[in-house]
Structure 1
């Protein structure tokens, strides 16, 4: 008579959770304060990466997601899935050996990472700078169009009988006398349910606080430049080796690293930046200049290519850089799926699968202890 699960958040993480839950037989309602896929998901590049993750729980999650995404892409139709691979390069002597050491650590846990001899790197990327000192090819890296993916997942949820309610802010969670979740409160009343999934992205901390179970999820702003169409100039996702350091940095100040990739439509996307500025809605010219300068350093051919626009968004940042996935022991029926920062697109398929396994009582396919809600980094800083 009412949904088994309410998913709060209609970005790619919430959509993937709803898709997996309906596939497992749950009745699901998805609510979002805005339009589906209009928040963090709309500001993403669509990366499905294993190349930027050191051995550990997030890489395990990424490897699972990479196995799941191709079948999802076949099911969902045109989401611009491209299994084009990635290329990570060092452009200084000092960066070369750390990149190769990182590659060897990844290979030891099953990542397909291949050192590219200096004489062959320009066969993969003819327009790449000649200043490359080391390069690693990652055939497993892929890309998709995040808004297409999220909306296709939600369309399948609807086809299975699920309900999507956009422009429906949730103020808090209702509980019964037994202390369990019994619904979520919206403007026109309460949507009854037995479980709530907090998939609010960078706003997940606010929602958790309103529900009485605070968690430390903070917004981290990122900016992307979009060039005019430039077909076949950039063949892979290409980034400088310093990108990995920027991803795991705790520094609140601006972090930029060079990330360049083409899209199916032709324009080139240029990133990446990370900056903790709260929810400040601004695009700073000095950030755009830094991104452009570093991109031209990797691909000198970009120096004369027009930049058509820039866009930015907020990524859900957990203090220990590990997503939060699982039940909240303080509130039975409350679940979290957040904290993926800039990797949410790539990790969505696995996150949805794991949430569905947990909610339905199935055995998760990877160890979820590192992602638990009640770890010190998530609770103590809340």
Structure 2
């Protein structure tokens, strides 16, 4: 196992101080490695800070991503015992609803497949929906309750993960990485930043939506693209919405690769009081222009699910960019094209939920341990032929 001291020489450099980078740093430190975390901005200043904090299994079909999510669900529960209550971890569950019998049939089929993979889901008939969500609109056909779904406050979760790494983790903010340093045979030996050089035999690309840009600095291709989304935030309310509630078409939107605008109702109460309303998806580069069309759609879809929200003020809206990869799986692990380079990006809208499992897989790759699940579907090697 590697060991080192905290200086301009570390065992590992993590590029990106969002929740994925923070989880990589935390688990690497727990494995006994010294870590330098670099970010050109602030902690959680990118996708993490614009996220809702969802920790979901309900929207994932059986396969590699669901296996990663189930591992992360267990790890988040462990972290909730370790990190302070300010991260607002809530194991409140999720509720997926259908407007008609055809939608319920699709949800049944989806849940049956998930059940074989270890997901717990309970069918809720229409007459029982008010027990779970008293303010839901009447006339829905029913839904499925997912008790394993949870939520955290993402920016605080990232900050406290970095803090939990202790003296083995050093965070350097406002410091942009401008190049990768390599040995004559092409292996990593550190990075060049706007403030100088940092040496380490391993560099982890946790740069989120900029993961593809960073990969190009290393001379490799990683087709990460930004996928824009808006969130409406209401005034603080009594617990009008108890869980994360979304319409069945949200699952299809998550799995879609379309660049066109898609919106589907996602409504979530928070411990602090405001209700978060999403979700939209579109690939428009890094355009941060506020779209009134999207905001009107989100508001209309949310009030269709929860009519009580019609008279509630929306205090603000924010925009974020999900790091999208074409096959909808993140890139996690060593890059065979550059010895010492690892990737931990491309999680799209699931990065907060998948962060602990990602960090654990990275730490195990660094220390040579066997991962607790089949990690090959996430290998960055699958993009090597695209160079």
| Band the TM-score falls in, shorter-chain normalisation | over 0.9
Partner of 1:123: 131
**Inter-partner Cα distance in structure 1 for 2:59 and 2:360:** 22
Partner of 2:164: 156
Q: CA deviation at 1:295?
A: 0.4
1:31-180 matches, within 5 Å, as: 31-78=38-85, 79-157=87-165, 159-180=166-187
**Inter-partner Cα distance in structure 2 for 1:360 and 1:381:** 29
Partner of 1:216: 223
Partner of 2:355: 348
After TM superposition, the structure 1 stretch with the greater mean CA deviation from structure 2, 320-329 or 117-126, is 117-126
**Alpha-carbon distance change, 275 to 379 in structure 1, aligned in 2, over 3 angstroms:** farther
Structure 2: state its 5+ residue gaps: none
**Inter-partner Cα distance in structure 2 for 1:46 and 1:254:** 22
Contact 1:231 1:262 in 2 (8 A): no
Q: Secondary structure at the match of 1:308?
A: strand
1:248-287 matches, within 5 Å, as: 248-287=255-294
Structure 1: state its 5+ residue gaps: none
Contact 1:216 1:379 in 2 (8 A): no
Q: CA deviation at 1:41?
A: 0.5
1:364 partnered with 2:371: yes
Contact 2:221 2:386 in 1 (8 A): no
Q: CA deviation at 1:232?
A: 1.5
Deviations 1:105-137 (A, max 9, x none): 111111011101222111111111112113000
Deviations 1:9-29 (A, max 9, x none): 000000000000000000100
Q: CA deviation at 1:220?
A: 0.4
Q: Secondary structure at the match of 1:116?
A: strand
Question: TM-score, normalising length from structure 2?
Answer: 0.96
RMSD (Å), alpha carbons? 1.0
Contact 2:175 2:195 in 1 (8 A): no
**Alignment match of 1:339 (pick from 346, 349, 373):** 346
Structure 1 consecutive aligned stretches of length 4 or more whose deviation exceeds 2 Å: 378-382
Q: CA deviation at 1:292?
A: 0.4
**Inter-partner Cα distance in structure 2 for 1:189 and 1:83:** 43
Deviations 1:49-100 (A, max 9, x none): 0000000000000000000001112111121000000000011333221111
**Inter-partner Cα distance in structure 2 for 1:288 and 1:336:** 34
1:10-49 matches, within 5 Å, as: 10-49=17-56
Q: Number of aligned pairs?
A: 379
Question: TM-score, normalising length from structure 1?
Answer: 0.97
Contact 2:332 2:344 in 1 (8 A): yes
Q: Secondary structure at the match of 2:125?
A: coil
Q: Secondary structure at the match of 2:214?
A: helix
